Amino acid sequence: MKQYKTSANRGRVIKIKQEALLKRSRSIKKKKEPFISNRDKQILWYLCNELTSKEIGKLIGLSNKTIDNIMTLLLRKTRSKTRIGLVKYAILNQIYIFEGYARTKYLRKNKKKTS
């Protein structure tokens, strides 16, 4: 394959390389969707409703450090760089359906009454 004395050989080599690339690209499997548990979905939902990790922790009954750790794991699972990326992921994968700002106000208002 390393001999390129004639242009005909070069053409055959290129064709063989192209065929090999096509076979390889067909055999590449699609990336699997990350497994997101119900707890992760719940935290994503609260995150989409503009709650801080401290507020989420109080609602769920976990410490804010635990919520931050779960968020870090979610960032890795979804391959996001920021929390905004997590929100984007939640909306695109229908974990969160935007209902408007009134829902967020309702959550914050009720949270203050129960505390």
Percent of the chain with pLDDT over 90: 38
The residue ranges of every structural domain in the chain are 1-30, 38-114
pTM, entire model: 0.58
Is residue 19 over pLDDT 60?
yes
- Give CATH for domain 38-114: 1.10.10
1 band by pLDDT with thresholds 50, 70 and 90: very low
Taking CA atoms, 102 is separated from 17, 105, 107, in Å, by 58, 5, 9
DSSP class per residue in the chain: -----SHHHHHHHHHHHHHHHHHHHHHPPPPPPPP--HHHHHHHHHHHTT--HHHHHHHHT--HHHHHHHHHHHHHHHT-SSHHHHHHHHHHTTSS----HHHHHHHHHHHHHH-
The pLDDT mean for the chain works out to 76
